[in-house]
């Protein structure tokens, strides 16, 4: 390719490059440049001395994290809730997309799509308010019915096991519909003649889904799973913060809420940065590991 051809290709792609510039600026300003602040994790940072003037402490902050009972519990809670979000919540959008793909009445399909996609556009404050309205001890709908029928109530949001179940279920309810869009787009690329041939051979819907639908969208499933593993240690701040309370803090305190309380409220910026650094490294390792396993089976993100 000569210089003239390169210039022609560049000129043709100028509109795309202009559209890409805000994205590049976002990652440069908010993702790459802040990486320099990770040095705080190895210092006893204070505002008076600044980043470079604060005393160097080496690995002391990391030693504190892994030898402190509270921080170990925070890491354990984050890991547990993340695993539940991924392995319980990950199949739901796939199942939802397959079911919607099988619906033949368009008006009903559009109604269901709108109903399940809508929660994604609600703020976690609104979703949290809905959850509390349904499950709170004092004035919830469920406890009101239980009191009328069985003359008893149950502290759903104050019991550790039920709090975890509500946390995972509310996350699935909010995000499953939006994630299903990606699978629906992948399903649209499957050749319909494959289903017609399978139907002529006597394959029922279950066999068609198992032998045609799932293999047809396998690359999409693997890519989304790899990306989800990158969020292994990222439970999310809003979701936890609006639902947690002091009674279930043993299972609800996660890295994001701990960083908020210790870093911003407690001004212990070095510890908060150390915890965030650890969270990012674990996510990076999980992405590399899952991608390596996927490549062994002929699929992978890169």
Show the domains of the chain with their CATH numbers. 1-42 (no CATH), 59-296 (1.10.3720.10)
User: What confidence tier does 300 reach under pLDDT thresholds 50, 70, 90?
Assistant: low
CB count in 10 Å sphere of residue 266: 13
Beta strands in 162-288 (DSSP E): none
The answer on pLDDT for 38 being more than 80 is yes
Instruction: Residue count of the chain, please give it.
Output: 302
Exposed, middle or buried by CB within 10 Å (0-12, 13-18, 19+), for 182? middle
Distance CA 29, CA 252 (A): 32
Mean predicted confidence (pLDDT) in 28-37:
86
**Nearest of 297, 235, 263, 296 to residue 40 by alpha carbon:** 263
User: What confidence tier does 63 reach under pLDDT thresholds 50, 70, 90?
Assistant: very high
Helix (H, G, I), strand (E, B) or coil at 43: strand
User: 195 and 213 in contact (C-beta within 8 Å)?
Assistant: no
Tell me what pLDDT residue 301 has: 63
Exposed, middle or buried by CB within 10 Å (0-12, 13-18, 19+), for 246? exposed
Q: What pTM does this model have?
A: 0.85
CA angle 138, 143, 149 (to 5 degrees): 135
The number of angstroms, rounded, from the C-alpha of 55 to the middle of its chain's C-alpha atoms is 36
- pLDDT tens figures, 266-288: 889 999 999 989 988 888 888 88
* DSSP H helix total and E strand total for the chain: 18, 0
User: What confidence tier does 297 reach under pLDDT thresholds 50, 70, 90?
Assistant: low
Mean predicted confidence (pLDDT) in 49-75:
90
Q: What letter would DSSP give residue 84?
A: H
Give percent of the chain above pLDDT 70: 98
Structure tokens at 186: 């992948």
- pLDDT tens figures, 181-234: 889 889 988 888 988 898 888 888 889 989 899 999 988 888 888 888 877 777
User: What confidence tier does 62 reach under pLDDT thresholds 50, 70, 90?
Assistant: very high
Q: What letter would DSSP give residue 3?
A: H
User: 279 and 234 in contact (C-beta within 8 Å)?
Assistant: yes
Distance CA 95, CA 246 (A): 35
CB count in 10 Å sphere of residue 95: 12
């Amino acid at each position: 390719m000569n210089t003239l051809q390169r210039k022609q290709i560049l000129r043709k792609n100028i509109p795309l490059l202009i559209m890409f510039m805000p994205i590049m600026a976002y990652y440069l300003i908010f993702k790459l440049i802040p990486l320099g602040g990770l040095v705080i994790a190895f210092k006893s940072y204070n505002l008076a001395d600044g980043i470079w003037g604060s005393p160097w402490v080496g690995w002391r902050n990391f030693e504190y994290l892994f030898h402190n009972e509270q921080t170990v519990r925070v890491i354990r809670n984050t890991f547990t809730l993340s695993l539940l979000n991924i392995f319980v919540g990950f199949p739901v959008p796939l199942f939802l997309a397959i079911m919607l793909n099988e619906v033949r009445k368009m008006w009903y399909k559009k109604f269901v799509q709108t109903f399940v996609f809508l929660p994604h556009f609600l703020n976690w404050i609104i979703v949290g308010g809905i959850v509390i309205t349904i499950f709170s001890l004092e004035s919830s709908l469920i406890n009101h019915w239980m009191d009328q029928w069985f003359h008893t109530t149950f502290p759903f949001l104050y019991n550790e096991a039920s709090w975890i179940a509500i946390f995972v279920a509310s996350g699935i309810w909010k995000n499953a519909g939006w994630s299903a869009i990606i699978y629906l787009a992948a399903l649209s690329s499957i050749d319909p003649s494959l289903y017609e041939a399978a139907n002529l051979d006597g394959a029922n819907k279950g066999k068609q889904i198992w032998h045609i639908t799932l293999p047809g969208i396998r690359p999409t499933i693997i890519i989304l799973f790899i990306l989800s593993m990158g969020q292994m240690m990222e439970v999310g701040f809003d979701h936890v913060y609006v639902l947690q309370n002091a009674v279930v803090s043993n299972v609800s305190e996660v890295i994001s809420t701990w960083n908020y309380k210790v870093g911003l409220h407690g001004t212990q910026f070095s510890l908060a940065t150390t915890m965030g650094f650890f969270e990012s490294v674990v996510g990076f390792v999980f992405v590399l590991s899952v991608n390596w396993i996927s490549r062994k089976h002929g699929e992978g993100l890169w």
